[in-house]
Amino acid sequence: MNSDERRFEVLRAIVADYVSNQEPVGSKALVERHNLGVSSATVRNDMAALEDEGYIAQPHTSAGRVPTDKGYRLFVDRLSEIKPLSQAERRAIRSFLDGALDLDDVMRRSVRLLAQLTRQVAVIQVPTLSRAAVRHLEVLPITPSRLMLVLITDTGRVDQRIVEMGDIVSEDDVAHLRSSLNQAMAGQKLSDASAKVAELPDEVPQDLRDPMLRLATVLIETLVEHPEERLVLGGTANLTRNVADFPGSLRQVLEALEEQVVVLKLLAASRDPGRVMVYIGEENEAAEMRSTSVVSIGYGSRDNPLGGLGVVGPTRMDYPGTMAAVRAVANYVGEILTGR
């Protein structure tokens, strides 16, 4: 191999040892632990070159070196492929997620699983209603003058609203209202459905205009025009296991996770289900996240991206393993939600 390839092998060995041991890595340890095929003197020269180029740094007066953000970036960019999870790991993921009861349960199970697999903080963006399409709308009588709207989307999300009708509505009228609403909304993106729903009061028989207006108003105001954007987090306590990885900044990271806006912005940029994105240290736009790395990916399909998921952890991270876990969980979450 040429000198550049050899230096990258030295960098890769430094990354592996530092991620594993959290101790600065010296040339002697590299020669002993890794089959680099060169002398200690050559390794020292390569380490000096890597340090001059900003890929590794000396944290204090010891002989050891640690990777920099630039070094981690080169390491991640040079990964020829993401090592797939084992068959047993994939079966465990599928079995765990297949047991989910509804969308919220899928979200909770996903972050719990991803946090366990990576030992980092896992985050997933709940699909917003504006990106969902209507699978079915159920209209159920609670009392003769009170109805429940149950909106079921193609992402598996279920939203319920109680509507006071102000007057008694017969079973036949409920059936007519249900049929009219489903004909207008089924298969429509919720962001497009509001216009169709708004027209319905003028299209139903005169005696149903008032009840339809009440139902349409609730649908438009609470389900279509105000979609919520939220995250589900899991494994936050994992950050506190390695406080030394966040010198003076762990509190800022925890506050950013709690506020969610910063992480939502990062996940919004990771909408491609086919590509794992890695933001390392200073690459994170938000100052409070610059001691972290964020590994994320979109889930759903290219034609119907539903949201993003990923993990947040220190820059001293098992990048290949984390990237594989993030991609695998995203694949299964996408399959479960788009297959429902």
- Do 172 and 295 sit in the same domain of this protein? no
The pLDDT of residue 53 is 96
Structural domain of 16: 3-78
pLDDT of residue 307: 86
Tell me, yes or no, whether 188 and 260 share the same domain: no
**Assigned token pair, 253:** 């990271």
Boundary of a domain, candidates 224, 249, 275: 224
In this predicted model, what pLDDT tens digit does every residue of 117-127 receive, in sequence order?
999 999 998 88
The total number of structural domains that make up the chain:
3
**pLDDT at position 227:** 53
* 163/161 Cα distance (integer angstroms): 6
pLDDT (tens digit, 9 = 90+) per residue, 205-222?
Answer: 999 999 999 999 988 876
Tell me the whole-structure pTM to 2 decimals.
0.77
Tell me, yes or no, whether 274 and 232 share the same domain: yes
Domain identity same for 232 and 289: yes
Give me the pLDDT at residue 130, please.
Answer: 64
In sequence order, which residues have a C-beta less than 8 Å from that of residue 179 and are 6 or more positions away? none
Among the candidates 191, 224, 257, a domain finishes at 224
Same-domain status, 249 and 334: yes
Q: Give yes or no: residues 248 and 331 share one domain.
A: yes
Mean pLDDT, the chain cut into blocks of 10 residues (340 residues total): 88 95 90 88 94 93 87 91 80 87 87 94 83 85 92 78 91 93 87 83 91 90 62 91 85 88 80 86 91 93 84 95 94 81
Q: Do 233 and 281 lie in a common domain?
A: yes
CATH code: domain of residue 19: 1.10.10.10
pLDDT of residue 295: 95
Q: Do 193 and 102 fall into the same domain?
A: no
Residues 317 and 274 in one domain: yes
∠ CA 93-96-101 to the nearest 5 degrees? 135
Last residue in a domain, options 78, 102, 118: 78
Domain containing residue 279: CATH number: 3.30.450.40
Check residue 170 and give its pLDDT.
Answer: 93
> Own/partner pairs for 156-164, CB < 8 Å, 24+ apart?
156/102, 156/103, 156/106, 156/336, 156/337, 156/340, 157/103, 157/127, 157/129, 157/132, 158/102, 158/103, 159/129, 159/223, 161/218, 161/219, 161/222, 161/223, 163/214, 163/215, 163/218, 164/214
161 and 175 housed in the same domain: yes
